[in-house]
Amino acid sequence: MSPGGFSARRAKLAAEAAAHARAWGEHEEWVAAAEAREREQREEAARTAELQREAAVRREREQREAVARREREQREETARREREQREAAARREREQREEAARLEAERLAREKEERERPWPCERCSLNNAWNCAACEVCGAPRVAVAPPAGQWGCSSCTVFNSEAEAACTVCSTPRFRK
């Protein structure tokens, strides 16, 4: 082999080696790029998975909060309705007590009016005071009148008293004398 041929062969081998080195470098770059792409894809997949987990956790939290909010609103609505019912019942009871007190006051006023009404003497027709047992002019006794239902007449002053009274409300005479 000639020295020039050796150099040519050597140059050719060097060129092939350089081509292989370039190819190997390109291959390593390609491998590195492929690995980088794979790493980026794994990182992207991990980020996506993390975002999905966060979204799922957020949805669960929002659902729990919505359920808790609905339950709280239902409790508040129930409490409001119960409060309104209690207030209405208290208002009805108060109105019933007021009506009962009004009716009792009217009944007592009628009884008092009945008791305090002057009575005419049968003999001389003088209107005597309600608490007189005998006529102030002629001395005739007050005529007993049958008491209305649910009442009794006092034997001393002849005032009509409620059946519930044990003694006369005017003169305190006991209802039943022994």
DSSP 38-106: HHHHHHHHHHHHHHHHHHHHHHHHHHHHHHHHHHHHHHHHHHHHHHHHHHHHHHHHHHHHHHHHHHHHH
pTM summary value: 0.39
Per-residue pLDDT, 178: 46
Q: In this structure, are strands 151-153 and 160-162 parallel, antiparallel, or unpaired? A: antiparallel
Residue 112, token pair as written in the block: 């008092």
Q: What is the DSSP letter of 145?
A: -
pLDDT tens digits for 38-86?
999 999 999 999 999 999 999 999 999 999 999 999 999 999 999 999 9
Widest distance between CA atoms in the chain: 186
